[in-house]
Amino acid sequence: MKVAVVGTGYVGLGTTALLAYFGHQVMGLDIDQDKVDMLVRGELPIYEPGLGELMAECGDRLHWTTDYSAAIPDADVIFICVGTPPLPGGQPDLRYLAAAAQDVARHLNGKMQVVVNKSTVPVGTGDWVARIIEENAPDYKQHQYNVVSNPEFLREGTALFDSLYPDRLVLGGNDGAGVARLLELYAPLIEQDFQAPAHVPRPQGYTRPEVVATSLSSAEMIKYAANSFLALKISFANEIAGLCERVDADIEEVARGIGSDARIGRQFLSAGAGWGGSCFGKDTSALISTGEEYGYDMPILRAAVAVNQSQRQLVIAKLQKHLHRLQGKRVAVLGMAFKPNTDDLRDAPAHDAIARLNELGATVVAHDPVAMPRARREWGHLNYTEASSAAAALIGADAVLLMTEWKDYTELDWNGAVRTMRQPLVIDTRNALRCAIPTATLEQIGRRGQSQVSQHQISSSQVSPSQVSSEQVAPQAKK
């Protein structure tokens, strides 16, 4: 088929690559000329492992444009994958979706075409998009254009694996013709009869995804409900972790014990600094906001959001427990992206930690193996200095916050690195370090006895901030 994909963010790029890999002719469209120019040159505007390699395998089946008239008229299926960021009140901002739907409608050509909403949107948005098409499409006729909801369930960092081998495929429509066309479009994915990419092999025992065909409104609700439930599991684990610290239990052992119950499952029971990224915070807020519109309170989701916010405060509280006043202290922050294997900084716990450290008068040195260039563009309001490596960030530090569980950090020679610190205090907010650091005080979340791993303290005379060279820390502070 001929496919148009509007939007070249995480979802849009993954959709274009997936469908082109399956043999369809795909044109990705974005109004940002710079992003399109990058893609034409074979460069990616985001970091996602393996995506570039998959696109390279698509050859001439994949094209890029900023012109709706070049992408929409001949397309059999049109995906809308634009952002729906949260407004101050928690409702999603649908301006970009409305603009895209209007431009798509104006370029429909009269044949049977399917418009697929892949953006995360409130219940009822599909019907609204259908009205936009009805009002803006030339020579509109009923049943000529079908609107389908096909929400994505990708995890950044493993987006290709999640796209090629999904648990389920949700297709929501009020007209069977639209869903039928998507079933045809996704046939290679459903039947799993495509040759698996060498760098994303098919997992052993995987057969095929479950196809969930629903109404438009149910498909939209599935997306919000799924993300909200996962956010709830994380907040529950964090709340239990807080109690574990007080009763001398270990959250890792508790999570393993309850996660072994098939009714609960082990995923998303990891305690830490709280969830971040573009989905959980936005989707829980949107669902709460939808409830308010109908006079329906959602106290469980409100509690999940509150627990998540408290986890970010807990990180600073653990610092203060050991350092007391943070004024004038030097704190290393390892990890800026909200999770490993992505450069996405949206709602990242590290952002809140750096902001709070700024308020308390601490000096911040930060490092991330991938996200620092993006942080220069998006975190200009924060005050921190870049380090060239994780080891360089620790030199002369009074404490280190491990905020993202990058492999670079879990495999760091911690015993050697902490010897360069002024005070060897490690706050592992992701419970990523699996063994003790004999020469340091290690604090984790909900772990039993971690803060008393060692009574050995390195003398502050071993290192001073003046020993940090200009080659190890970038000269400019981010303000």
Q: How confident is the model at residue 137 (pLDDT cuts 50, 70, 90)?
A: very high
195 neighbors 164 (Cβ within 8 angstroms): no
Q: Look up tokens 């998540």; give the residue.
A: 308
Between CA 5 and CA 72 the distance in angstroms is 9
Q: How does pLDDT run across 346-377, given as a tens digit for each residue?
A: 999 999 999 999 999 999 999 999 999 999 99
Residue 326 has which token pair?
A: 């943070």
Q: Would the annotation count 318 as a binding residue?
A: no
Asked if 279 is an active-site residue, the reply is yes
Residue 342 has which token pair?
A: 């992505």
Between CA 428 and CA 102 the distance in angstroms is 48
Other C-beta atoms within 10 Å of 191: how many? 10
Asked whether the predicted pLDDT for residue 465 surpasses 70, the reply is no
Q: Which domains does the chain carry?
A: 2-214 (3.40.50.720), 224-307 (1.10.1040.10), 308-478 (3.40.50.720)
What single DSSP character describes residue 92?
Answer: B
Per-residue confidence (pLDDT) for residue 474, from 0 to 100: 44
Per-residue confidence (pLDDT) for residue 476, from 0 to 100: 40
CA distances in angstroms from 441 to 406, 445, 446, listed in the order given: 21, 14, 15
Per-residue confidence (pLDDT) for residue 471, from 0 to 100: 37
Taking only Cα atoms into account, the Rg of the chain, rounded to an integer number of angstroms, comes to 24
Helices 125-136/95-106 angle, 10° precision:
40
Q: What is the dihedral of CA 355, 359, 363, 366, to 10 degrees?
A: 0
Query: Annotated catalytic residue: which of 58, 81, 244, 279?
Result: 279
Of 472 and 98, more confident: 98
Q: Would the annotation count 194 as a binding residue?
A: no
331 neighbors 399 (Cβ within 8 angstroms): yes
pTM of the model: 0.86
Q: How does pLDDT run across 299-331, given as a tens digit for each residue?
A: 999 999 999 999 999 999 999 999 999 999 999
266 neighbors 252 (Cβ within 8 angstroms): no
* Span 232-257, average pLDDT: 95
Q: Would the annotation count 223 as a binding residue?
A: yes
* Span 61-85, average pLDDT: 95
Q: Would the annotation count 230 as a binding residue?
A: no
Residue 24 phi, psi dihedral angles, 5° rounding:
-80, 155
* Span 269-273, average pLDDT: 93
Q: How does pLDDT run across 103-130, given as a tens digit for each residue?
A: 999 999 989 999 999 988 888 999 999 9
Q: Would the annotation count 346 as a binding residue?
A: yes
Per-residue confidence (pLDDT) for residue 452, from 0 to 100: 39
Q: How confident is the model at residue 473 (pLDDT cuts 50, 70, 90)?
A: very low
Residue 83 has which token pair?
A: 């952002």
